[in-house]
Amino acid sequence: MPATGLPVNANATTSDWIAVAAGSLGALLATLDISITNSALPQIQGAIDAAGTEGTWISTGYLMAEIVIIPLTAWLTRVFGLRRFLMWNALLFTAFSLACAMSHSLAAMVIGRIGQGFSGGAMIPTAQTIVRTRLPPHQMPVGMTMFGLIVLTGPLLGPVVGGWLAENASWRWCFFINVPVTAVLVPLLYFGLQRERANLPDTFFALGVALLCCVPLAFLLKPARPGAAVTYDH
């Protein structure tokens, strides 16, 4: 018996493939948004009055939040349950996407992008978890291939999609485009994943995890703040 609990020669069920599709779609959403704003930065900077290198924060804030949340994903999944955790992340990702789309200042945009990074970053490693736990060994290469293609093509398609939307519609559609995707993702997560009981930690432990999120992010943001000079000691 493998770790999935299925006989070695058993095929994955429809529910298993729905779960894999949901995980893959969530990973695509997260990886696409890493670079979707790159081609639209001039238009975004002009709209929110961001000068010079300040516009790089739009991408940097997202990446920094992802760096912080990815190592915590396994623990958060055990605390809230995989289905509940991913559904809330998908809904929060949509809310932060709408906040970014309606931003009129650099601060609002960066806060929205950091929120996107926190909620979207968790959907990348959980896609692998779903493949590993829901597919039998002989079908696992198919699931891992799906995940690998998504991880590779998401950041590549981001600038293309973002540039096309900025030129032909509006830069705001770089964020509005996430809404119909999550409208498909949430039902897939609901029907593909099983409900699990939450295992909430005590208050002090939760506070420690919150500090674990905030402190590394603060250390990352400090040297990367706009206008900060980088010096090297010899």
- What does the alpha-carbon distance between residue 206 and residue 210 come to, in Å, rounded to a whole number? 6
Residues 6+ apart with CB under 8 A from 80: 88, 198
Q: Is a pLDDT exceeding 70 seen at residue 108?
A: yes
Place of tokens 């949509």: 94
Tokens describing residue 200: 């909430």
Nearest to 55 by CA among 65, 43, 45: 45
Mean pLDDT to the nearest integer, 118-145:
90
Encode pLDDT of 182-197 as tens digits: 999 999 999 998 888 7
- Tokens standing for residue 166: 């900025």
Q: What is the pLDDT of residues 153-162, one digit of tens each?
A: 888 888 899 9
Give the global pTM. Answer: 0.81
The single-letter DSSP state of residue 224 is T
Name residue, tokens 């609901």.
190
Residues 54-74 have pLDDT tens digits of: 778 888 889 888 888 888 888
If pLDDT is split at 50, 70 and 90, which confidence band does 181 have?
Answer: very high
Burial class (CB in 10 A: 0-12, 13-18, 19+), 84: middle
CA 230 to chain CA mean position, Å? 29
Mean per-residue pLDDT of the chain: 82
Instruction: Give me the pLDDT at residue 212, please.
Output: 61
Domains and CATH numbers, the chain: 14-221 (1.20.1250.20)
| pLDDT mean over 201-224 | 58
Question: What integer pLDDT is reported at residue 54 of this predicted model?
Answer: 78
Percent share of the chain, pLDDT over 70: 81
pLDDT score recorded for residue 232? 34
User: What local confidence, expressed as pLDDT, does residue 91 receive?
Assistant: 95
| 3-class SS string, 59-82 | HHHHHHHHHHHHHHHHHHHHHHCH
Helix boundaries (H) for 122-139: 123-134
Number of Cβ atoms within 10 Å of the Cβ of 229? 5
Query: 141-180, pLDDT tens digit by residue?
Result: 888 888 888 888 888 888 899 999 988 999 999 999 999 9
